[in-house]
Amino acid sequence: MLKRRNFLATTLAAGAAGAMPAFAHKLEPYVIPEEYMPVEVKLRTKLEPGELHVDPNTFRLYWTLPDNRAIRYTVGVGKDDLYHAGEFYVGAKREWPSWTPTPEMIKRDPAAYEQFADGVPGGINNPLGSMALYLFTANKRDSYLRIHGTSQPRTIGRAVSNGCARLVNDQATELYHMVPLGTRVVLNPKNRKLENA
């Protein structure tokens, strides 16, 4: 479990990936609020162990454990109508993944995304951060939704993304190593709140 509260991104971490101007940001220390740190909780909602559940109402992600317990993380979720509730499974996992905006993203905001139509290599300025879990549908198709890291920790606890759930990089790395391929993922609807003690 992560104990560190100070997440400092440095330009040295970019390595050979280089900076991507549209995603480059002032790299400075950011202290994660204590209430955003991972914590083990007792759930009042009955959930099977070994699953991921996202509650967009409280910006929480739960990695469920035996005895109706879970590790609770704080996440950023899809903004406005870009959050897509449903059931998925982890169909792939990537370390320092590359990223390509979907055609829908480019159509919705060409000024922001068209320049990246050929993709962005993995690295500190990549929108998917350090690690990513790729969510697939029941018929084995990539949903293009991800649970991923971010080097912009100030976006955690808000509705900011194009539909994915994001964690700070260190927490995404921790989750990546715990969650196996094939794990069930539930993106709960905005009108259903998970209850935890």
Collect the ranges in the chain with pLDDT lower than 50. 1-25
Hey, is 184 helix, strand or coil? strand
Active-site residue (options: 25, 53, 148, 177)? 148
The pLDDT value recorded for residue 18 is 32
Q: What is the pLDDT of residue 197?
A: 52
DSSP string of 122-181, one letter each residue: SSTTSTT-SEEEEEE-TTS-EEEEEEEEES-GGGTTSEEESS-EEEEHHHHHHHHHHPPT
Report yes or no: 146 and 132 within 8 Å, Cβ to Cβ. Answer: yes
pLDDT at 156: 94
Categorise residue 167: left if φ over 0, alpha if ψ from -120 to 50, beta otherwise: beta
Domain covering 36-187 in this structure, CATH number: 2.40.440.10
- Which residue in the list 25, 53, 84, 164 is annotated as catalytic? 164
53 catalytic per annotation = no
What pLDDT is attached to residue 167? Answer: 95
Annotated domain spans of the chain: 36-187
CB 101 within 8 A of CB 113: yes
Query: What per-residue confidence (pLDDT) applies to 124?
Result: 83
The answer to whether 177 is a known catalytic residue is: no
**pLDDT at residue 21, rounded to an integer:** 37
Rounded CA gap, 86 and 3, in Å? 32
- Please enumerate in sequence order all residues whose Cβ is within 8 A of that of 184, keeping only pairs 6 or more positions apart, or say none: 48, 50, 51, 52, 87, 88, 89
Q: How far apart are CA 136 and CA 156, in angstroms?
A: 23
Question: Do 71 and 40 touch, CB atoms closer than 8 A?
Answer: yes
The pLDDT of residue 16 is 28
Rounded to whole angstroms, the Cα distance separating 109 from 117 reads 12
Torsion over CA of 76, 131, 151 and 88, rounded to 10 degrees?
-20
Nearest to 120 by CA among 48, 20, 14: 20
Q: Which pLDDT score, from 0 to 100, does residue 26 have?
A: 52
Query: Residue 68's pLDDT is what?
Result: 94
